[in-house]
Amino acid sequence: MIQYDPHHWWRHLLKLRGGILKEIVGRLGVFVVWAVAVVWFHRHVFKVDVPATGHTLAGTVLSLLLVFRTNSSYDRFWEGRKLWGGVVNETRNLVRAAALNISSPELVRRVTAWTAVYPYALTRVLRSGGDDLGPAAAVLPRAEINQILNARNAGLAVAMRISATLVEARRLGFISDIIQMELDRNVQLLVDYQGGCERIVRTPMPFAYMLHLRRTLIIFMLGLPFALVEPFGWATVPVILLIAHTFLGIEEIGVEIEEPFGTEDNDLPLEDISGGIARILDDLVQWNDQAIDSPALSYPGIPAPKEPPPVA
């Protein structure tokens, strides 16, 4: 994803990276060449102009279709971002609660490492590949990491590892049954968020809607020069270029953002989010270790607790 300052209006106008011009330039060229051919034929061979009323009505309908297309795509994009926001929150909650309740530093670090690996594994699932499981994978057994890489669903495999570590902590007596169930509820929410992301990836826009929109757009753009050629003359060509750029660009933006988990410039920065999760989880464990090693804090105005009197 490209980071930018929306207050700088002119700075971004000439940038190609992140725009849709390179994706639609071929289609623009086709419609411009067609407009040139129509104008030349109209002026030198035979009058082919038609009334503009039909295109006016069709343009209104086409605009509504394009608005619905982009709104639906942005809903998918924003839903994906909210789901990953949930992943960020639940990984923090899981490690925070584990660090405070599991009395084994080794098991806390194992839970933290697997939790830091989880967003990278989820990225692998959503992008159907990739071997990067983040820096935390280096502290985990290589055989277990290879099992994750070979699993059909790396995200679920990592979630199973986290749950298994919590079960081990309960079996060894470091946490109670209730604490283990509460901690595992965070793992369940991570799996729920993964299911929401997979729903977006595996459910594209309905094919019939996409096909009808593109057919309508092509017919409209091919017929538009006939409605403009008489009043505009050779100016029809730049007008067609402007209208085609607008309509094709809106449709391409919808295509660009409808699947937000890819690697294109306008997709969600999953690597940055995963790296941020790993860093904050590492900080949580370090803060917990410092809190355990530091003496009890005393605050001005709050008396220290007194020892209860011995029972006679």
For each of the chain's 312 residues, which pLDDT tens digit applies? 677 777 777 777 777 777 788 899 999 999 999 999 999 999 999 999 899 888 889 999 999 999 999 999 999 999 999 999 999 999 999 999 999 999 899 999 999 999 999 999 999 999 988 888 989 999 999 999 999 999 999 999 999 999 999 999 999 999 999 999 999 999 999 999 999 999 999 998 899 999 999 999 999 999 999 999 999 999 999 999 999 999 999 999 999 999 999 988 888 999 999 999 999 998 888 887 666 555 443 344 444 445 555 554
- For tokens 């690597």, the residue is 271
- Give me the amino acid identity at 133: L
User: 106-123 burial, b if ≥16 CB within 10 A, otherwise e?
Assistant: ebbbbbbbbbbbbbbbbb
The closest alpha carbon to 156, from 122, 133, 202, 120, belongs to 122
Q: Is residue 120 within 8 Å of 289, Cβ to Cβ?
A: no
Nearest Cα neighbor of 100 from 182, 171, 16, 205 is 182
Distances (CA, A) of 124 to 95, 132, 174, 228: 22, 8, 33, 50
Tokens representing 188? 């369940």
Q: What angle do CA 95, 97, 100 make, to 5 degrees?
A: 105
